[in-house]
Amino acid sequence: MADMTATTMATYLPEQWSELVSVTYRSNVVLPGLMDRRWEPEIGVGEGDTVNVPTFTQNTSASKRSTFGTGASLTFDAVQETQTQILINQMAYKAFRMPVEMSLQKMKVYLPLLVSGVSEAIALKVDSELAGDDSNGLDALTSIGVDNEDITEDVLFTGEINLDDNSAPMTDRFLVVSPASRASLMKIEAFRNSLYGGAVGNLDGDKGPGYLGHTYTYDVITSNNLESGTSGKKNAMFQRECIAYCEQQSVRMAKGLNIADGLFDEVAGWMVYGHKLVKDTFGREIAGK
């Protein structure tokens, strides 16, 4: 005697495709919102490819009259400033195409998902570049800490002392860490208590994705999109003025029909932008897990 099984009945066991879709969320995009974007309005569409930013050296000392109540000639300073150039010379894009007959037969939800994925993919590309660029990104900063080791409180203090010594403003300071490095930090009791002491049930929703809370003099943000080290991750502590970032054009979509290659429906999205390490003393890369 033989029984019918799922194997013998496979041809007559239909499969159903749900109209509901499971979307895999890939990453937290955090870095563009932490960069210095004050010059972005200067570089609109059709207005060139470079933003020339005049620098200003803040005075840190003054002279003193040698004898009070006695006139004497003054010493005048010859001030000579320089400029920083922010080049708008990057374009990130995402594109796909399909034969026209497939575009007629696809599920209705598929195209909206592809289009929304274009913006996310471009945002992730820019986020990764800001983290990993070794000339004008976080990876260009002087490194402290040890690769693939827990971040210690001493390392955090070293980064904070650097900001203080270089007169970085006390506002808009950020510590961006990987999920594993965030777990390392939670092993530090003082850090854990400081981070959550006034934030339980009251995290600021305006801070954006990845925001964990405020401790010492900086906001703590986690990202799973940071640059890899030899074995661990490259975290960073910096003040907003460290890196300038400009989008000349946010993500723009285009759709067309390609006849020459064989009748394809094509969709592409792109964004034009640039970034520049302006104040390298206003940040430190922190090696960790």
Please write the tens of the pLDDT for every residue from 62-86: 888 878 878 888 888 888 778 889 9
- Token pair recorded at residue 154: 């001493």
Read off the pLDDT of each residue in 274-288 and give the average, rounded to a whole number: 96
- Token pair recorded at residue 271: 């964004």
How far apart CA 153 and CA 195 sit, in angstroms, is: 13
- Token pair recorded at residue 217: 């003099």
How far apart CA 288 and CA 231 sit, in angstroms, is: 9
Please write the tens of the pLDDT for every residue from 200-238: 455 555 566 788 888 889 999 999 999 999 999 999 999
Listed residue (28, 12, 23, 2) closest to 226, CA to CA: 28
Residues in the chain: 289
Residue matched to tokens 């010379």: 89
Helix or strand (DSSP H, E) at 183: helix 179-185
Handedness of CA 142, 144, 146, 148 (dihedral sign): negative
pTM as predicted: 0.81
Give me the half-sphere count of Cα atoms (radius 13 Å) on the Cβ side of residue 2.
Answer: 5
**pLDDT band with cut points at 50, 70 and 90 for residue 195:** low
Is 210 in contact with 223 (CB distance < 8 Å)? yes
Single-letter amino acid, residue 33: G
Domain boundaries, the chain: 85-288
Is 100 in contact with 74 (CB distance < 8 Å)? no
* pLDDT reading at 190 higher than 80: no
DSSP 207: G
Read off the pLDDT of each residue in 5-23 and give the average, rounded to a whole number: 73
- Residues with Cβ within 8 Å of residue 237, at least 6 apart in sequence: 156, 159, 160, 163, 173, 174, 175, 176, 218, 283, 284, 286
Listed residue (252, 227, 241, 289) closest to 38, CA to CA: 241
Read off the pLDDT of each residue in 259-270 and give the average, rounded to a whole number: 91
* pLDDT reading at 280 higher than 70: yes
* pLDDT reading at 15 higher than 80: no
Listed residue (251, 2, 234, 210) closest to 137, CA to CA: 234
State the CB neighbour count (10 A cutoff) for residue 38.
13
Is residue 87 classed as helix, strand or coil in its secondary structure? strand
Residue matched to tokens 């900001």: 163
